[in-house]
Each structure stands twice: as C-alpha cells, then as structure tokens.
Amino acid sequence: MPGLLRGIARTAVVAGTASGVAGRVHHRQDQKWAKQEAEQYEQQQAAAAQQAPPAPAAPAPSSASTIDQLKELGELKAQGILTEQEFAEQKAKLLS
C-alpha cells in the first residue's frame, strides 16, 4: 500500500506542477497578445490621425458674385492675361 500512496502523491505533485506552469504560460501569452493588440491599435490610430480630414465643401457662390467673377475673367481674357483655354477652365470651375 505504501507504494500505491507514493505513486498517487507523485502523480498529484506532477499534475499540480503542470497546471501551475500552464497557468503562468497562459498568463504570459495573454499579456504578450494584449500588448501586441495595443500596439496595433495605436498604429492604426496614428495612421488615421495623419490622414487629412476631407476638406469641407465650398459654399455655393451667389449668382451676383458668380456674374462679377465671370466679368473679371472676361476682362482678363480681353487684356490678354488669360488664354482661351485658361478662361474656359476658370469659367467651368465657376459654373460647376
């Protein structure tokens, strides 16, 4: 009988040690993964912060100011400051 008790006691010690070691390993792995996830989250937040927010849409100009700007463009074209292509591009921007 003493041999049987010794075997049972040895098994209990081995099982307890294995359980303790497994718990510590599991705890360390959880900490490691949590740290990696936190670093990834911080990197994502930094990348998102670096991206410029979209520019707010420009308010639609009033028709009076659009007409004035078209007149100014026409005068610049007549003076030879703007080419026909530049005039057309600016006019398209104003009218869009």
Model pLDDT, residue 20:
81
pLDDT in tens, 37-78: 999 999 888 887 777 566 565 555 566 688 888 888 889 889
Which is higher by pLDDT, 31 or 48? 31
Q: Which residue in 53, 83, 88, 44 sits closest to 70, CA to CA?
A: 88
Model pLDDT, residue 19:
83
Model pLDDT, residue 62:
63
Residue boundaries of the structural domains of the chain: 1-51, 63-95
Tell me if the pTM is above 0.85.
Answer: no
Whole-Å CA distances, 75 to 11, 30, 53, 85: 100, 72, 37, 15
Percent of the chain residues past pLDDT 90, beyond the cut: 16
Model pLDDT, residue 36:
93
Nearest-angstrom CA–CA distance, 47 and 45: 5
